[in-house]
Amino acid sequence: GLEPKGPGCRLVLCNARSVANKAPLIQDLIVEGAADLAGITETWLGPEGGVPLVEMCPPGFLAFHQPRAQGRSGGVGVMIRESFKPREVTVLQTAGCESL
């Protein structure tokens, strides 16, 4: 396998195609992969609500989410270890592109 050499950050990327019924799978992916940061695309969570991404986080993680603007698909999220002391920053929004 590919083992890190020295300190680093282990990243997981998941195209969820709806996180609504996949919370246990996403948590397992993060925990079993020993991830420090997980990027999640296609959350399919809109501004109208649903299960917040933060409720899907493994213990010791924080979540940030940009819901889809409209329609059925879209939405991006990040789950990151609290020990990294993450914070939200304002980013420029580009039409047709979801970002955090």
Higher pLDDT, 97 or 55: 55
47 band by pLDDT with thresholds 50, 70 and 90 = confident
CA 85 to each of CA 5, 60, 81, 88: distance values in angstroms, whole numbers, following the listed order? 23, 11, 8, 10
Identity of the residue numbered 38: A
pLDDT, tens digit (0-9, with 9 covering 90-100), for 65-88? 988 877 778 899 999 999 999 988
CB 79 within 8 A of CB 57: yes
